[in-house]
Structure 1
Amino acid sequence: MALRYKTRKWLALLILIVALPLYIVAAVSIVGLFDRPPILVELLIYVGLGIIWAFPLKFVFKGIGQPDPDA
């Protein structure tokens, strides 16, 4: 089922305003439970987590910056 442009736009906004900050807090909290790794390892963990969140949501963000194709 394909989402309409307007639905994807609102969903993308909701993800960026609500879900992403919650994901960041969860990632920092989970990494904080362990002993602090060396700075480069910690950097790689955060970069990896920063990239991973986008892959399952790629279909929502695809084409959002373009003009509405339904119009």
Structure 2
Amino acid sequence: MTLGRLHVSARTRNRLIAATIVALAGGVALLVRSKRPQAPEPAPAPPRIGYSRNGSTPTPLTEASAENGR
């Protein structure tokens, strides 16, 4: 067991520094991407023409014109 300084070659040290930089860059990229503004929810669909809001069945145009005597 040594109490002195751990001897690491320059090549290994450079690789560790490069790996640390790549990991930090990836973490920052994930953080930036997660903080993007989200798209708003779509607006509700407008009511369709010919359909009733109270649940009754709509009258077809052919029957409506026949009832009016046209």
Structure-2-length-normalised TM-score = 0.33
More helix by percentage: 1
Return the TM-score normalized by structure 1. Answer: 0.33
